[in-house]
């Protein structure tokens, strides 16, 4: 059997990237596309494993999962591919275009660099498994947010916008909003600073920011999201064309209407009737009035639009099947 490898960080080694039974890593089944990719490779007589199992040197096909710090020289007959999926705010090296010449092809979501030949369009992908109800009796509260507390220096970061939203709800309507995710009970959003504080035992000298609306972490997002009419759905960064992650699809699969802020060209990929565009509201007061004044009939129409989109050919570009077929097709095309 021919060999292929995918170069990953330590977290995903030992083929953990493909393990659907690892509930900690495969939260909300987000690894399904990679699992399907390994399955399809095997069907074609190729063993795809992480690079600690199939080394780069012995692999005919090498897929780099995000831009590595160093790129080895190719052996004769080898082909190199790059999956540039991580956010530009988290890993700007993914979009160092001058390094793209070192790969045979690049797969990414970033619409403004796609050429269809060298740089191939690919989205974050999902297994479309949803069974949400139109019965509004399941909705226990108005709105929530499920995100980890992070920080970025990128000029278009949205971490600070999330905090702005949290503070507004906490000040004006604390009983109608819940916050979930890790890191919100820490001293700072920067993990390194938190570690320094703990090791130096300075915790008693520093006041933690405690949010009244914080409800802790959840093992899976969908069962929690389904309890809320709306979900604040802010990407890590805004106005990057094509950057559409799992956040909006988590809402779709749960039957919670997303209030979206992120990709400037979101409506080129997802119809407006499936979400509320945060950009249309200058203030949170204005947005809140719209949410609370919405009739049940209008709300249900959003859910019906979401279901229609998920069932339509237009959503195929976000499926795990498309993720696999696009990669396999480009590799086979040479």
- Asked if 144 and 291 sit in the same domain, the reply is yes
Question: What per-residue confidence (pLDDT) applies to 138?
Answer: 86
50 and 161 inside one domain = no
Do residues 153 and 23 share a domain?
no
Please return the burial class of 160, using the count of CB atoms within 10 Å of its CB with bins 0-12, 13-18 and 19+.
exposed
Task: Output the average pLDDT for the chain.
Answer: 92
| Average pLDDT of the segment spanning 201-226 | 76
> Is residue 66 over pLDDT 60?
yes
Q: Indicate which CATH number applies to the domain containing 270.
A: 3.40.50.11660
The pLDDT, as a whole number, for residue 186 is 67
Q: Which domain holds residue 71?
A: 2-127+319-333
Select from 299, 330, 317, 326 the least CA-distant residue to 132: 299
Report the domain count for the chain. Answer: 2
Q: Is the domain of 144 the same as that of 216?
A: yes
Q: Are 109 and 123 in contact (CB under 8 A)?
A: yes
Is the domain of 31 the same as that of 110?
Answer: yes
pLDDT digits (tens, 9 = 90+) for 214-233: 999 999 999 999 999 999 99
Q: What is the CATH number of the domain that holds 74?
A: 3.40.50
Indicate if 64 and 191 belong to the same structural domain: no
State whether 270 and 143 are in the same domain. Answer: yes
**Domain identity same for 48 and 157:** no
Q: Which residue has the tokens 């945060």?
A: 278
What pLDDT does residue 129 have? 87
Are residues 253 and 222 part of one domain? yes
Q: Which of 302, 262, 300, 272 is nearest to 87 (CA)?
A: 262
Angle between helices 284-293 and 159-172 (to 10 degrees): 60
How far, CA to CA in Å, does 63 sit from each of 50, 129, 186, 222, 269? 9, 27, 36, 31, 26
- The verdict on 218 and 123 lying in the same domain is no
Same domain, yes or no: 54 and 78: yes
- Do 118 and 198 reside in the same domain of the chain? no
Q: By the 8 A CB rule, do 63 and 74 touch?
A: no
């Amino acid at each position: 059997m021919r060999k292929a490898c995918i170069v990953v960080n330590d977290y995903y080694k030992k083929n953990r990237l493909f393990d659907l039974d690892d509930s900690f890593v495969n939260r909300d089944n987000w690894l399904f596309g990679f699992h399907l990719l390994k399955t399809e490779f095997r069907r074609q007589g190729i063993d795809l494993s992480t690079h600690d199992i199939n080394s780069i040197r012995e692999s005919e096909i090498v897929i780099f999962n995000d831009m590595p710090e160093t790129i080895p020289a190719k052996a004769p007959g080898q082909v190199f591919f790059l999956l540039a999926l991580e956010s530009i705010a988290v890993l700007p090296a993914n979009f160092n275009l001058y390094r793209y010449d070192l790969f045979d092809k690049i797969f990414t979501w970033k619409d403004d660099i796609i050429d269809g030949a060298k740089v191939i369009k690919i989205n974050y992908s999902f297994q479309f498994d949803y069974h949400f109800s139109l019965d509004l009796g399941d909705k226990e509260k108005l709105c929530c947010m499920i995100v980890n507390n992070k920080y970025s220096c990128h000029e278009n970061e949205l971490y600070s916008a999330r905090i702005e939203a949290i503070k507004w709800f906490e000040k004006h309507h604390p009983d109608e909003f819940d916050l979930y995710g890790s890191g919100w009970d820490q001293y700072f959003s920067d993990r390194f600073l938190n570690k320094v504080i703990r090791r130096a035992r300075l915790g008693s000298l520093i006041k933690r920011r405690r949010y009244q609306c914080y409800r802790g972490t959840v093992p899976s997002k969908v069962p929690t999201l389904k309890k809320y009419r709306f979900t604040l759905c802010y990407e890590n960064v805004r106005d990057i064309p094509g950057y559409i992650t799992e956040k909006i699809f988590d809402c779709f699969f749960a039957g919670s209407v997303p209030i979206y802020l992120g990709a400037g060209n979101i409506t080129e990929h997802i119809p407006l009737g499936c979400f509320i565009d945060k950009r249309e509201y200058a203030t949170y007061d204005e947005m809140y009035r719209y949410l609370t004044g919405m009739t049940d009939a209008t709300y249900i129409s959003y859910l019906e639009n979401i279901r229609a989109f998920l069932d339509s050919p237009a959503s195929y570009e976000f499926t795990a099947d498309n993720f696999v077929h696009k990669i396999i097709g480009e590799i086979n095309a040479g």
